[in-house]
């Protein structure tokens, strides 16, 4: 267990039971980070809350952008460090290609045109991310991580929690038609958002508290503007993810559902990171209050029920 987790929980325990000599059995927390393109940068604001409270999730599951950010956090990077990485790559060729932004290309050497059903090869971006951590496999991660992709041939959701880390993340972000599909054994893998965009179901029954962060975005209104090809493709993908998520939430919702949203942010608007994080701040503040209340209630109930004391 990491020192920042122990420190955070001991402070909460001391405030509630008056001593850290025999801290109550700590609750386990699972965090599901959903798919949503640039909207998923809001995940960083949520992770900042965990950093501020000194709490480390016991498990992380992520799809697409949630797999990218969740993977970096599981590797030990702070929310602030992850923010810095995305600030560095804002204005990438992805935006130039889509026509959604007019910023200068800054990472032309990281992305090349590919085959296998995609315009771009995301391998260069994965190599960039890998320079920020020594972890290369799931087994090396300080926090257990599962990333979600989809088998192109069977349409089955594929959960990956072992083996090579960055090829798995690359598969999870393989948006059909944009990024190349990834071959993994007998599976040809595409974006996990096509089958399980908010994979909180993988946490249920394994942790005490399930927190899901839905970044699939809000519905756009008809403002009279022409709808371009990229808009039609990407918004259709978003609509599909939202429909899948609605069904999952209706079946068995998570304990805490967070929905940070930034108006009119499209799939590849990564250059709007500061705006996205600003819009996520009220949701992050709500999570901070909920976590503090939930932990306080947990320890209060633990004291009353005489739960065993352990770290």
Q: Which of 58, 121, 151, 191 is catalytic?
A: 191
Three-state SS string over the chain comes to CCHHHHHHHHHHHHHHHCCCCCCECCCCEEEEECCCHHHHHHHHHHHHHHHHHCCCCCEEEEECHHHHHHHHHHCCCCHHHHHHHHHHHCCCHHHHHHCCCCCCCCCHHHCEECCCCEEEECHHHHHHHHCCCCCCEHHHCCCCEEEEEEECCCCCEEEECCCEHHHHHHHHCCCCEEECCEEECCEEEEEHHHCCCCCHHHCCCCCCEEEEECCCCCCCCCCCCCCCHHHHHHHHHHHHHHHHHHHHHHHCCCCEEECCCCCCCCCCCHHHHHHHHHHHHHHHHHHHHHHHHHHHHHHHHHHHHCCCECC
CA-nearest of 147, 141, 202, 190 to 169 is 147
Q: Which of 35, 64, 195, 216 is catalytic?
A: 64
Edge to edge, what strands does the sheet with 177-179 contain? 112-113, 118-121, 177-179
**Active-site residue 35, yes or no?**
no
**Active-site residue 58, yes or no?**
no
Residues annotated as part of the active site? 64, 191
């Amino acid at each position: 267990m990491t020192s920042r987790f122990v420190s955070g929980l001991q402070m909460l325990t001391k405030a509630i039971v008056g001593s850290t000599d025999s801290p109550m059995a700590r609750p386990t927390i699972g965090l599901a980070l959903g798919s949503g393109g640039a909207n998923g940068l809001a995940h960083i604001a949520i992770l900042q809350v965990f950093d501020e409270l000194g709490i480390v999730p016991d498990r992380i599951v992520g799809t697409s952008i949630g797999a990218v950010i969740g993977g970096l956090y599981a590797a030990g990077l702070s929310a602030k460090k992850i923010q810095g990485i995305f600030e560095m790559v804002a204005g990438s060729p992805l935006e130039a290609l889509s026509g959604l932004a007019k910023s200068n290309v800054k990472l032309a050497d990281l992305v090349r045109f590919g085959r296998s059903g995609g315009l771009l090869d995301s391998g260069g971006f994965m190599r960039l991310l890998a320079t920020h951590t020594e972890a290369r496999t799931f087994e090396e991660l300080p926090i257990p991580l599962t990333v979600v992709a989809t088998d192109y041939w069977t349409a089955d959701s594929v959960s990956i929690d072992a083996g090579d880390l960055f090829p798995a993340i690359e598969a999870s972000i393989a948006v059909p038609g944009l990024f190349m599909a990834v071959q993994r054994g007998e599976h040809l893998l595409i974006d996990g958002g096509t089958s399980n965009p908010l994979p909180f179901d993988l946490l249920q029954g394994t942790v005490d508290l399930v927190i899901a962060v839905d970044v699939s975005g809000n519905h756009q209104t008809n403002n009279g503007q022409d709808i371009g090809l990229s808009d039609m493709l990407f918004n259709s993908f978003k609509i599909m993810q939202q429909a899948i998520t609605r069904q999952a939430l209706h079946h068995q919702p998570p304990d805490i559902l967070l929905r940070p949203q930034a108006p009119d942010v499209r799939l590849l608007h990564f250059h709007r990171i500061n705006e996205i994080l600003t819009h996520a701040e009220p949701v992050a503040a709500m999570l901070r209050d909920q976590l503090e209340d939930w932990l306080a209630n947990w320890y209060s109930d633990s004291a009353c029920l005489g739960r065993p004391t352990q770290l």
